[in-house]
Structure 1
Amino acid sequence: MTSTLTLSIPLSERLFKPAFRLGLNSRLPPAMQRRLLDASALLIPPVADRVIRQVSLGGRPAERVSVGPTQQGQTILYLHGGGYVTGSPRSHRGLTTSLAAAAGAELYVLEYRLAPEHPCPAAVDDAVAAFLELVTRGYDPESIAIAGDSAGGGLTVATTRVLIDDHGLRPAALGLISPWVDPAVRQVDNGTDIVVNAAWAAQSADMYLGDGDPDDARYAPGRGDLTGLPPTLVQVGRPEMLWQQATEFATKLEAAGVDVTLGDLGRLWHVGHVAAPLMPAAAAAVEELGDHLARHLIRTSTASTA
């Protein structure tokens, strides 16, 4: 890391809560929310030795991220959160660069299309196309893990379902940070989540649904078939509005026969991983995620990073 400053969870809550309350505000237009969330990433110091390259993947912009040496032919497709309405590779660099270091693998962070301009299933289509292009570049499906946070966690599950059912491809592993697997369920403000609020979540869910069906597994993968999914880590903190949804989803995965691990992050706030360069608790969560993904990736030697 490039900074010796470290934050406790209580101190980080006081620092970041105003930024999230400002940016994730249902009264602001999505374009403004996006600019504010990207700006909040400036609070996070850069990870040392990070290399970020602007690339194209599946017809969409993406960032290829690496930190130090990586295992040849292993990669992680990362799908950022933001309610399907906001978020970008830029807003999540504190997380993605820390995860690249923890996993010892390169990451492709996809800039998938956002609602309301592009409702479901645009994001799913983009993520599926990105994975398929990695395969055409020579990556074995078992050398590609998929990870995502919040909406990106739900998108990870939806994408994997399409890959298995429609393309016969199974990623090596899934890493889900506070996955939003059923946006149709209205959340209630619990007084302890410093990031997400119920009004913004409901608005984002409606924008992402558009004219779609709330039972569509691409929109609400928690309502769909979970059998055959790869080994999955589900991480969630106790103050989060999504605590119940995420823990219940882990139970559903287990009942479906999936190799699932539930990571209880204690008091860590929603996707606090983005502050890993500053927070020991967040860094530990990223290390757990990186270890899970790395243990399931196989090594191949034919992949091209062009």
Structure 2
Amino acid sequence: MRDIALPLPVVRAVMGPLYRVTFHAGLPFRVQRALIDAASVLQPVPAGVRVEKLRLGGRPAERLAPRTPAATEPAAVLYLHGGGYAVGSLATHRSLNGRLAAETGLPVYAIDYRLAPEHPYPAALDDAEAAYLELVNGYGYAPDRIAVAGDSAGGGLSLALAQRLIARHGYTPAALGLIAPWVDPNEESQRPRDLVVNGPWSRACAAAYLGSGDCNDTGYAPLHGVLAGLPPVYVQADIDELLHPQCVDLTTALRAAGVTVEFTESRGLWHVAQLQAALVGPAAAVLTEMAGFLRQAMEQQPASDLG
């Protein structure tokens, strides 16, 4: 599925300076958004995947679907992009979502949720909830035939969404796919930066997302919310990224709560390297692994649960 196979050292050498410039705490978020949107053109959507623009939960969205679906029963993935709740878009994650659709055989719905600081917490969570509910009530998907996935801030948002759905609606998604999830924005890393993320930028994003809200709200920091009762969870992180310790804490807490967890730790990649899966073999491999996890979660459901 990859068009190019670039050596990891080459990609790291190029990406490091680009991220240092783009994710600078002194740079306005609107400029950061423009820069990463422009760079996304280097990340192609795989052949055989259709991209359809629509609205979901009142927000602009995309449906990325393989031309030959794998599932015989209606099923889907709702994907929530990362970017510190302040940057990121449908464009930045279109390649990742296209590959996820191709490898799961399922349609992937991606939403352009509202970003901070213009729209602080809980705007993003409200948008994610509205999108999921429309997939159930408007598109006819059974609640347990929708997997929720996301990366970084979108991974934290995915966890917060699952907790809210269970508490408010009694809906449990089929599975969660979390790529380096940011599940506690209150926690500061002991290290200044990794290849992609740096401390000052992360703190600026956390403050922008929180706004005037309560930092102890578990919708903002879902690591400290109710974990029991969650569906199977896939977590992936590289051992050298700033969020790796937080991912270890999440995995430990999930297992203690009786949740089925698969935790994959890569070496030599970077924060959400899956965005460059079309260019880098090891990044494609970990994305394929998550796709397999989500697909298997759908296939293992009892027939009586299928909608």
AA aligned to 2:23 is: L
Structure 2: distance between partners of 1:293 and 1:51: 20
AA aligned to 1:149 is: D
Per-residue deviation, residues 84-135 of structure 1 (Å, max 9, x unmatched): 0000111012211111111111100011011001111111110011000000
Q: Find out whether 1:268 has 2:269 as its counterpart.
A: yes
1:66 is matched with which residue? Answer: 65
TM-score (norm 2): 0.94
Structure 2: distance between partners of 1:22 and 1:44: 19
Over the residues paired in the alignment, what is the CA RMSD in angstroms?
A: 1.7
1:42 is matched with which residue? Answer: 41
After superposition, the Cα gap between the structure-2 partners of 1:34 and 1:188, relative to the gap in structure 1 and judged at 3 Å, is: farther
2:125 is matched with which residue? Answer: 124
Q: Find out whether 1:78 has 2:79 as its counterpart.
A: yes
1:22 is matched with which residue? Answer: 21
2:150 is matched with which residue? Answer: 148
AA aligned to 1:294 is: R
After superposition, the Cα gap between the structure-2 partners of 1:284 and 1:203, relative to the gap in structure 1 and judged at 3 Å, is: same
1:241 is matched with which residue? Answer: 242
Per-residue deviation, residues 178-200 of structure 1 (Å, max 9, x unmatched): 00000011224355x21101110
Note the C-alpha offset of 1:68: 3.1
Report if the CA contact (8 A) 2:150-2:158 is conserved.
yes
AA aligned to 2:39 is: S
Report if the CA contact (8 A) 1:2-1:45 is conserved.
no
2:12 is matched with which residue? Answer: 13
Structure 2: distance between partners of 1:288 and 1:10: 23
Structure 2: distance between partners of 1:113 and 1:219: 15
After superposition, the Cα gap between the structure-2 partners of 1:145 and 1:19, relative to the gap in structure 1 and judged at 3 Å, is: same
- Deviation >3 Å, runs of 4+: 188-191
Report percent identity of matched pairs: 45
Number of corresponding residues: 301
Following superposition of structure 1 onto structure 2, how do residues 152-231 of structure 1 map, counting pairs within 5 Å?
152-190=154-192, 193-231=194-232
Following superposition of structure 1 onto structure 2, how do residues 270-289 of structure 1 map, counting pairs within 5 Å?
270-289=271-290
SS in 2 for 1:297: helix
AA aligned to 2:87 is: T
Note the C-alpha offset of 1:267: 1.8
1:115 is matched with which residue? Answer: 116
Structure 1: distance between partners of 2:21 and 2:42: 14
SS in 2 for 1:133: helix
Note the C-alpha offset of 1:81: 0.1
Report if the CA contact (8 A) 1:150-1:177 is conserved.
yes
Per-residue deviation, residues 194-221 of structure 1 (Å, max 9, x unmatched): 1101110000000000111111011000
2:292 is matched with which residue? Answer: 291
Q: More deviation in 134-143 or 77-86? A: 134-143
TM-score (norm 1): 0.94
Report if the CA contact (8 A) 2:172-2:231 is conserved.
yes
1:138 is matched with which residue? Answer: 140
SS in 1 for 2:134: helix
Note the C-alpha offset of 1:225: 1.2
SS in 2 for 1:176: strand
